[in-house]
Structure 1
Amino acid sequence: MRVRGISWVGVKTDSYQSMRNFFADVAGMTPDHEDGDFTVFGLPGGDKLEIFGPGAADPPGQFAAGKVVAGLLVDDIDEAIAELRAAGIALIGEKQGGDGYWWQHFRAPDGTVFELAEDAGHP
């Protein structure tokens, strides 16, 4: 597996509106998608920042070990998943996604949750 970068960061917060407004109004980021307690900010390089409020539907286990999760961009998610399994790394749930964007959560050796991401639209 070769990690090409950080493609995604997810933040779970009890202060959804203030966090959403901070990234939009102070950091100058434009929301690509908003739905209730959930906002996706797309960055010019193809990366994403997602804010999850208390009512957002986040994947089970995603924020179990912390309020911030980073997605590691890989070229072939199935190959990377196989390498994680071979190394004895615990996967969380099943691979999810579609339309060129796939993700798989896993626990690093210290229990920190990360996400593998394959994104056909990422440069």
Structure 2
Amino acid sequence: MKIYGMRWVGSRTSNYDEMRDFVANKLGLTMGLDQENAVVFDFPDGSAFEVFKPTDNEHSFFDHPVPGIIVDDVRAARAELEEKGVEFIGEVHDGVDTSWGTAWSHFTAPDGHTYVLISRPAMHPGKTAREFDELRICLKVDDIDEAVKVYRDGLGLPVVDDWTHPGGQRGVLFGVAPAAIELFDKDQWDLVDDSELGERTGTDHALRVELADTDAVEALATKLEKLGVGRDGALTRTPWEQNCLRMSTSEGEQLTLFTLPAEERVVREHARSLLPY
């Protein structure tokens, strides 16, 4: 049984309208699913808070918030826990198109409270099954200490491993989430160069960092400059309404800070919320 964490909380309440208003307008969470007997609110990390109406009889067996534990396979996880004496409530439920999870099953823990196992497909928003646990992009650098400053102190990425072999060879691994891979054909690459910089750099790879707005772009650019990252030009607005600032590390790595237009940002945030972790 592989557990990814607690990523769902459900609450059944007789004060449904007040609770819905509280989560939406006071906590400020985004509504993800509006169902007949419940509403699901999304957290930025892809977690969810689901509020059930008192008319939702399928969840009448609990009257307290229920945490959801995300697992690969609900049925396999349930069978494993049942062998260890855990008592489950009812059968495994399979989701439909409008369900947050694909399957779930409730159980009672020793504290007397109800918990639920939930599975979500390990798919990206394009609905293609991911065949790996982690993708690593490797960059060769001449001065690893200087590079670490940019990624750790500048971009704020956490170091999850830092090793040195007996022969002195060193590597550093950063945790990056969320992330995406973007492929351009040659014409698209040239178009991006022309639009963002006004000239073609001749490079064949780049790092692009999405930020909320131009103030955030300027703040990060100023921070990176103090770590030796130079500006290649001014903040530019592309024909596709992105605001982009080209920068280069001392190693010559291209780093583009950019913002998305409002509608596209909403689409990307929703896509990221569908990722399993």
- TM-score, normalised to structure 1, is 0.84
Deviations 1:23-75 (A, max 9, x none): 100111121222455211122322111111222343353x1xx4110100112
- Structure 1 distance, partners of 2:14, 2:59, is 17
1:70 to 52, 67, 70: 67
Tell me the residue number matched to 1:8.
8
2:109 maps to which residue? 108
Q: Counterpart of 2:77 in structure 1: which amino acid? A: A
Q: Bigger CA drift: 94-103 or 3-12?
A: 94-103
Q: Quick check: which one's strand share is greater?
A: 1
Distance 2:36 2:15 in 1: 13
Task: Write out aligned runs for 1:32-71 (5 A).
Answer: 32-61=32-61, 63=62, 66-71=63-68
Count of residues paired in the alignment: 120
- Provide the C-alpha distance between the structure 1 equivalents of 2:20 and 2:42, rounded to a whole number of angstroms: 13
Inter-partner Cα distance in structure 2 for 1:6 and 1:52: 19
Q: Secondary structure at the match of 1:20?
A: helix
Moved over 4 A (4+): none
Q: Which moved more, 1:12-21 or 1:39-48?
A: 39-48
Q: Which has the higher helix share?
A: 2
Give the fraction of aligned pairs with identical amino acids, expressed as a percent: 37
In structure 1, runs of 5+ residues without a counterpart are none
- Shift of residue 14 of structure 1? 1.5
Q: Which has the higher contact order (CA 8 A, sep 6+)?
A: 1
Amino acid in structure 1 at the alignment position of 2:120: D
CA root-mean-square deviation: 2.0
Residues of 1 paired with 2:73 and 2:54: CA distance? 32
